[in-house]
Amino acid sequence: MNRRLICLLLVLGCLLGLPLRSPAPLIYRPGEGWSYEPVGGEGKWQRARAKDQLEVAQAAFDRKDYSLALKAARRVVRVWPLSDYAPQAQYLVGRCYEAKGKDEKAFAEYQKVLEKQPKIGNFHEILQRQYDIANKYLAGKWFKLWGVIPIFSSMEKTAAMYEKIVKTGPYSEVAPQAQMKIGAAREKQRNFAMAAKAYETAADRYHDRPQVAADALYKEGLAYKKQAQTAEYDQSTAGQAIATFTDFMTLYPTDPRVSETQKIISSLRIEQARGSFQIAKFYEKYKKWNGALVYYNEVVLLDPNSSYAARARVRIDQLKKRAPQTVKK
């Protein structure tokens, strides 16, 4: 059987497989996009008044016909954008996308209604819905290409979601935790500097909420600690971590994490000593004796009982013996 005959049979099979009449014609409406509607039912869901159109949307949503509810709600927003029914319709658009599993689109539609109608009655409920959506992406849900194909997880986009929540309702019930989640997203990026900044903002802005502020200050210290552990020669973040943990213990002395914090500070002082020891070795390698002595002495001052301090004392004595004429008194 030659190739031409095979192609002919395939085409014939496709034609025979097509229905004689399409049960759902494809219709495009400006501002609404493409939609399928039953033959003879085109446009029957449309109404002449915003109130009636919203009722169609709500009724469809209640019976879980989210495609029809979405069309009807979007028509209210498009045709009657200034009506009293537009905010509820915009909210329904978000609900439809959320029900259809299109969380990123739902978040964006919720954001529209919050920005345009900040006094909407269910303002806090919408913020909570946005927060719940952002939590899914923080947990690893993938964002979708063109809203269809899941292709990647992004802590950058997730952090941006939380930032919008905080900006829209900075003193709402979900805002403190949303601000904390910005820090968590940055930590997943291993951007510990931005994570620490996010936690610092939470501690400052919500200082009147002791539990939030205490958690924020503690996590800020941990973020600085993680950053210090990734640095080779710049150990200034270890000092920032120590200062933050010290503030934490001073402000919240009864917090059960205080004893653990004291252990962390001890380990950070060792980390500072390690950093200074590395810098001293760097200077010594290039025969910068005075610079090496400065940092070896700093090791001894930072943590006199550490193993680094013992090694630093040895190096100080050896450097002074090796090149006393180059070492300033």
Question: 309-315, long-range: CB within 8 Å, 24+ apart, which pairs?
Answer: 309/273, 311/277, 312/273, 312/277, 312/280, 315/280, 315/284
Answer yes or no: are the C-beta atoms of 96 and 70 closer than 8 Å.
Answer: yes
Answer yes or no: are the C-beta atoms of 252 and 258 closer than 8 Å.
Answer: yes
- Mean pLDDT over each residue of the chain, to the nearest integer: 87
**pLDDT score of 325:** 56
Is the confidence at residue 40, as pLDDT, over 50?
Answer: no
Is the confidence at residue 80, as pLDDT, over 60?
Answer: yes
Least confident of 80-84, 183-187, 273-277: 273-277
Alpha helices in 154-233 (DSSP H): 155-168, 175-188, 192-205, 210-230
How confident is the model over 119-146, as pLDDT tens digits?
Answer: 999 999 999 999 999 999 999 999 988 7
For the whole model, what pTM was predicted? Answer: 0.79
Q: How many other CB atoms sit within 10 Å of the CB of residue 44?
A: 10
User: Rounded CA gap, 117 and 110, in Å?
Assistant: 10
How far from 200 is each of 194, 219, 257, CA to CA, in Å? Answer: 10, 9, 18
User: Rounded CA gap, 123 and 129, in Å?
Assistant: 10
User: Rounded CA gap, 149 and 75, in Å?
Assistant: 27
Rg of the chain over all Cα atoms, to the nearest angstrom: 31
Q: Which amino acid is at 117?
A: Q
**pLDDT score of 273:** 87
Token digits for 186?
């940055």
% pLDDT > 90, the chain: 67
**pLDDT score of 151:** 83
For the residues 203-226, what does the mean pLDDT come to? Answer: 96
- Of 27-31, 211-215, 315-319, give the range with the top mean pLDDT: 211-215
For the residues 91-102, what does the mean pLDDT come to? Answer: 97
How confident is the model over 248-268, as pLDDT tens digits?
Answer: 999 999 999 999 999 999 989
The residue whose two tokens read 């950070």 is 268
- β-strands 33-36, 143-145: how paired? unpaired
Is the confidence at residue 233, as pLDDT, over 90?
Answer: no
Answer yes or no: are the C-beta atoms of 61 and 95 closer than 8 Å.
Answer: yes
Domain edges within the chain: 22-100, 101-189, 191-255
User: Rounded CA gap, 240 and 199, in Å?
Assistant: 13
Answer yes or no: are the C-beta atoms of 179 and 197 closer than 8 Å.
Answer: no
Q: Which helix (H) or strand (E) holds 30?
A: none
User: Is the pLDDT higher at 43 or at 80?
Assistant: 80
How confident is the model over 160-186, as pLDDT tens digits?
Answer: 999 999 999 999 999 999 999 999 999
